Each structure stands twice: as structure tokens, then as C-alpha cells.
Structure 1
Amino acid sequence: MKQLVVFLIFINILNATSFQEANNVHENQGALKAIPLYKKLAKQNNTKALNTLAIIFIQGDGVKKDIKRAYKLLKKSEKLHSSQAKYLLGKIYQSNKSPYYNKIKAYNSFVDSANEGYSKSQTMIGKYFLFGKLVDKDYEKALYYFKKASKQRDYSSNCYIAYMYASGSGVFPNFGRAHQFAKDQYRLGNKLCKKVWKDYNLGKYKKDDGWQIGDYNKPVK
């Protein structure tokens, strides 16, 4: 009897699937092979699996694109308090090609996610305030959210910080500082960093070593 119990436990362990295992199958064998594993985890309320399934259907990764199915998965994940799901829902609401297009819902979804600490949403909200998209321009709030995202290594936010320092948007112009924030993403081909680098000729400026500004120091590596 004891041997039978041990055997059953062993079988359960073999049948158990972690998100990492499903993700490995996805990367090595493709989405079609991984989908059944993600679905199994999704039934167990695994938000990473729910979100990844949604991304597969949004992108049409090995399957037909299905925004409605993705939306349903993300709403379930949102109810399970996934900040990533809120970000992805924001992207769906933001697209005027989406059947769920709603600019207000997009902004609110990004705000909720950003205030929960999700870096991509923080960058997104920073853009809203920087460019006055749907809300009044507020450079202080824009820089606040970009800083938050930058500290979490969402390096795309550094391009916006570089733009603010180069253009003097809400801060005193500092081309050396703009150089430092833009250089790595410029080298990696980020379109905004390349544009800021070219428009403000940042390559000719020396780096700025005087980093201490309030609670912010320098780009996180």
C-alpha cells in the first residue's frame, strides 16, 4: 500500500507542469505544443499562463489571431490581480482596430497597473503626461513615472528621460545627461533614442557625472 501511494505521488509529480516548463516548450517547440500546457495552468488560475495565452492569440503565434479570446483570458487574469493583464488590456483598449477600443478604459487600465508597480505601464503613463495625450501635460508626473520604470530596468523609458533633458521639457536642459540616458538604447536601435540622439547631436556631449537630483541618481544597468 505504501509503495502504491509513493507511486501515485510520483505520477502526479510527472504530470505537474510549471509555467517555466511550459515556457521552455514554447521557446523550443513552438506555441502549438505549449498551448495545452498553458491551458492546464490557466485552469489553475496561473496568471502568467493566462497572460501568455492571451499574447499568443493577440499575436497569432502559431494560431489564428483572436482578440476576443485574448480579452476573455486577460479579464480573468485581471480579476486575479495581475498587473501585466491590466497593461495588456490597456493595449487592447488603446488600439482603434480593437472591438474593445476605449481611450478612457485604456488610460485607467494603464494607471492601475502603473500604480501597482508594473514598469511597462509606468512608461506608458509617463508618455500620457509628457505629450498631453488624453490628459493635460504634466512634466513632473511624466518624469516621476519614467523614473519608476527606469529603476526597474524598463530601458525604453530612458529614451523619454533623454528627450526631456535634451529638449528641456520640465527640466533644465542637460545634454550630457541626455547622452547618458540615450546611449545604450541608441546603440541597440531604439527608434526614439536614435531620433533624440540625432536631433540633439548628443554624441558630441560629454557625460554628466553630477547625477544627484532629488531621489534619482543615474540609469540602472
Structure 2
Amino acid sequence: MRLLLLLILLCTLVFALDFKEAKEIEEKKGVLKALSSYRVLAKRDDTEAIFRLATLYLQGKGVKKSLATAKTFLEKGSLLNHHKSTYYLGKLYITKKSPYFNEKLAFNTFLKAANDGYAPAQNMIGQFLAAGIAVDKDYKMAVKYFEYASKQNYEDAHCNLAFMYATGKGVFPNFGRAHQFAKDGVKNGNKKCVKVWKTYNLEKYDDDKGWKFNFYTKPSE
């Protein structure tokens, strides 16, 4: 009878476990103690636990590094529409040192999250289009994707738009607008913004006073 009650209690505790509690176990007792909890949650399709397991195996933190295991968890998270999992899966495909390097597959993976409105993936698609990676160069479409991400205040997208306006790629050249997009990133030490700022001497240009900011922030058609 006692054994049965103990089993019931253990089952209750296991099913009551959530990601926050599993993370606390990791913080207090280490990765190895938390692994079983993360795995239980992963079997219940907890996307945060799935992603945490993926990052642990990607980094080799507390476990033996395994890109294959990480990829398996990222694929599962992506199938459950966890955008971070999809994004990191794309990064695995775009990393040249990865055994899974595949630019076309990376593009399609990022596109999945981008079309769901995930800003980092939208910014990445913009970069693919601007550089002609896996697809033909399309500066105008690149600007569109940078704008999608920028409207969510994704800083790298601001920097990319600054570059596009400074060089006139996909848009009319406008150094005032480039200045406006880059200045906050420069203050924050964003390397991409700093590079554009210095390369095109954006400090000497004033903000684009003729730019109606509310037009930019309206949802894109």
C-alpha cells in the first residue's frame, strides 16, 4: 500500500512539473540533475524544455556536445511551431562547419519562422536576399523583410536598413534616413550599425525630417 502511494505521489510530482521548476533544478543542482526533468517535459511537447535540451547539446553544457541530438530536438521544436527552435535549426544549416550545412534548406527553414512573424528570421531572410544566398539577389524584397523585423524593434534590422539607405540598394539613397536607423544601434554598440555609421560618415547627416515615421510603422501591405 505504501509503495502504491509513493508511486502515485511520484507520478503526481512528475506531471505537475513545469519548465520553470526544471530550470530552477538546473540552476541549483546543475545540468545533469535537470536533464531527466527536461526530458519528461519534452515528451509532453513542452517547447521550452525541448529548446533547452537542444541548446545544451549544441553547447556541450553539462552533457557531451552532439549536433545530431541538438538537431533532433530543434526539429521537434520546429514541428511544434516554436520559432526559436526553427531559427536555430536554420543557423545549424547555414553554419559552414556544420555537417548539416545546406544553404537552400537554411533559407526555407528561416522562411518558415519569418512568415510566422519572427523578427530574427525575417531579418535573416533579408540578408539572404540582399546577398543572393540560396536565391537570386532581390534588394527591394530584402528591404521589405528588414522592415518587417525593424517594425518589431529588432536592432540588427535597423542596422541593415541603414546600410540599404546609405548604399541605395532597393531604395533611393537617403543618408538622413540611414542616420535615423543606425543611431540607436551605435549608442548600444551594435557592431553592424557602428560599421555603417563610420563607413558612410552618417554622423554628419541630420535625421530625415521629411520622413513621416507613422507611415513606416503602419503594417506593411
TM-score, reference length from structure 2: 0.83
Superposed CA deviations along residues 78-104 of structure 1, whole A, max 9, x for unmatched, are 222323222111111111222222121
Q: Distance in 1 between matches of 2:92 and 2:204?
A: 40
* Aligned residue number for residue 66 of structure 1: 66
Q: Secondary structure of 2:172's partner?
A: coil
Measure, in 1, the Cα distance between the counterparts of 2:105 and 2:22.
32
Q: Residues 215 and 209 from structure 1, CA distance in 2 versus in 1: closer, same or farther, beyond 3 angstroms?
A: same
* Cα separation, partners in 2 of 1:209 and 1:23, compared to 1, 3 Å: farther
Q: Which amino acid aligns with 2:129?
A: F
Tell me the distance in 2 between the aligned counterparts of 1:167 and 1:28: 51
* Alpha carbons of structure 1 residues 167 and 73: separation in structure 2 relative to 1, 3 Å: same
Number of residue pairs matched by the alignment: 211
Match of 2:116 in 1: 116
Could you tell me which runs of 5 or more consecutive residues in structure 1 were left unpaired when the two chains were aligned: 1-7
**Kept in 1: contact 2:151–2:217 (CA 8 A):** no
Counterpart for residue 86 of structure 2 = 86
Q: 1:190 to 1:13 in 2, by over 3 A?
A: same
- State the TM-score, normalized to the length of structure 1: 0.83
Shift of 1:49: 1.4
Instruction: Report the counterpart of residue 77 of structure 1 in structure 2.
Output: 77
Aligned residues of 2:140 and 2:169 also touching (Cα < 8 A): no
Higher alpha-carbon deviation: 113-122 or 180-189? 180-189
Which residue does 1:162 correspond to in 2? Answer: 162
Match of 2:149 in 1: 149
Is the 1:211–1:217 Cα contact (8 Å) retained in structure 2?
no
Partner of 1:57: 57
Residue range with higher mean Cα deviation, 41-50 or 202-211: 202-211
Q: Distance in 2 between matches of 1:110 and 1:34?
A: 30
Letter in 2 for 1:118: Y
Match of 1:5 in 2: none
Q: Which residue of 2 aligns with 1:128?
A: 128
Partner SS state of residue 52, structure 1: helix
The percent of aligned pairs where both chains have the same amino acid is 48
Instruction: Provide the residue aligned with 1:39 in structure 2.
Output: 39
Deviation per CA, 1:91-129, whole angstroms, max 9, x where unpaired?
Answer: 111112222221211111111111111111111100011
Q: 1:146: Cα distance to partner?
A: 0.9
- The worse-fitting range, judged by mean Cα deviation, of 119-128 and 72-81 is 72-81
1:158 CA drift (Å)? 0.8
Structure 2 gaps, min length 5? 1-7
Cα distance in structure 2, aligned partners of 1:200 and 1:51: 40
Alpha-carbon distance between aligned partners in 2 of 1:170 and 1:26, rounded to the nearest angstrom: 47
- In structure 2, the CA distance between the partners of 1:80 and 1:178, relative to structure 1 (3 Å rule), is same
Ranges of 4+ aligned residues in structure 1 off by more than 6 Å:
none
Change (3 A) 1:26 1:187: farther
CA distance 1:198–1:76, change in 2 (3 Å) = same
| Aligned-CA RMSD value | 2.6
When residues 199 and 24 of structure 1 are mapped into structure 2, their CA distance, relative to the original with a 3 A threshold, is farther
